[in-house]
Chain A
Amino acid sequence: MVLGDKTNLLAQMRRGAIEYCVLALLRKEERYGFDIVRDLAATSGLVTTEGTIYPLLARLRSEGLVETTWQESRQGPPRRYYRITPEGEFALAGFVQEWERFRDSVDQILELGGAS
């Protein structure tokens, strides 16, 4: 990775975290794909191209971390809603634990080095 290559840096960091962000978005309620994508896109920098979330969602579903249901929508055809599974909850809990430790470690190092 070339230093200063911001796009690549973000892509690398996003790769490990984004699927847990999706799981976190589903922790409280089930959502349909468009909703998830819009929320992720609304958070600056996490999603640049909305379509790229769908391959991730499809993989999470095949791994059993999320599941889908069809629900009637007020307008138009029924929508596919995503819901987190117990396996997804477990994976998310594990990530949260690791993430906090990782984030603290990185922050600590950055402060030690005098970065602001």
Chain B
Amino acid sequence: VNNTPANAQIADYMARLRTALQDIWAPRRDQIIADVEDHIAAALDEMKDPTPADIANLLERIGDPEQIAAAALSDDPGLAPPSAARPGQGPGWVAPVTSGLAIASLVLSILWLAGLGSLLAIILGFLSLSQIRRSNGRTGGRGLAIAGLIIGTVGVLMPLAWLLLLRPAVSNSATSSAGSAVNGQAAAAQAAAEQAEAAQKAAAAATAAMAVPHCTRGYHLAVRDGLVSHGRWPLVARYQFVTLKPESSSSYGNLLNGRADGTSARVFTGAQSIGGHWHFVGTLPVPAPNAQNVGSNAVIQFTGHYQSGTLYLVEITFRTTAVTSRTFSICGLLMTEGVSSAVTTTAASS
């Protein structure tokens, strides 16, 4: 036991054996090494004072470590790859080929294709799983197939869940809006929307009318013509109204009390019917601009009642904006049946 040279010989041999067997499946390798160690121990027991030659002879009889390793491999070829010892992977084990079905399953599950891909992924996933099971280790890709199955299932369940959970809510609201209680509200809302639309139209029309030099805005009356008399002060403003619809003259009998520059005066000079449209024509002197009246207004107002008490107001404003540049605006404010609008026309005087 204390024979150091013998121990060194044996240790060297065992090291060589471990190296030779390093690629053998570990449990098998460990057992072979333990058996050889036992063998040497048993042999040494039988020897009395073994010489180095005895040890060498003993080791020679056991055999070269490479020979033992070769014997282990030829006895059981499945020992060769370290992974060969896994269950179901005996001798002749080769790396499994990944199942094409499993790959297709995973790809389709990801593509989804509005649920069709998911359905196919589930089918292919099951097919590839059974293929892998039957292949006895020759076909791999079980993880891919399971991933395809899971993603495919999610791809099918998500739209189903949406249909079951969200659709009733949508149809409920549709049904309730058909109910009579809400119907009134809907009608009111519709009326409000129509009013808003009308107001919007009116506003848009007013804006458009304002941009037009010859005002044509109004239900019954229109400011046909602003005035401008150029050259000398005081300017004479001339105006003309025309009814948009043919009317009898008596309908406008109460259009009166024109007022110029704050002064109440009957300013329109006459009314005449041209093809049923009544024209009201008048003139107004506009004072020369000076430091005092710059920015002041010359106003003509027509007020009156039409038929069953409807108020018509026409207001024409002449505004001097500067002493040297004389810009006038004429604005008609027509109140007809609750809808009012303003029209403005601008003229310049040199």
Contact = CB atoms under 8 A, between A and B. Distances in A.
B2 to A, nearest CB: 14
Interface stretch (B69-77, B246-254, B279-287): B69-77
Interface stretch (B32-40, B267-275, B333-341): B32-40
Contacts, number: 79
B42 A52 contact: no
B75 A57 contact: no
B61 A41 contact: yes
B39 A49 contact: no
A4 B39 CA distance: 34
Contact of A59 (B61, B64, B67, B76): B76
A80 to B, nearest CB: 6
Contact of B39 (A34, A55, A58, A61): A34
B28 interface: yes
Contacts of A57: 31, 35
A116 B42 CA distance: 42
A62 interface: yes
A114 interface: no
B194 interface: no
Interface in B30-87: 31-32, 34-36, 38-39, 41-43, 45, 61-65, 67-68, 71-72, 74-76
A49 B72 contact: no
Contacts of A58: 28, 31-32, 35, 72
A32 B32 contact: no
Contacts of A33: 35, 38-39, 42
A48 B68 CA distance: 11
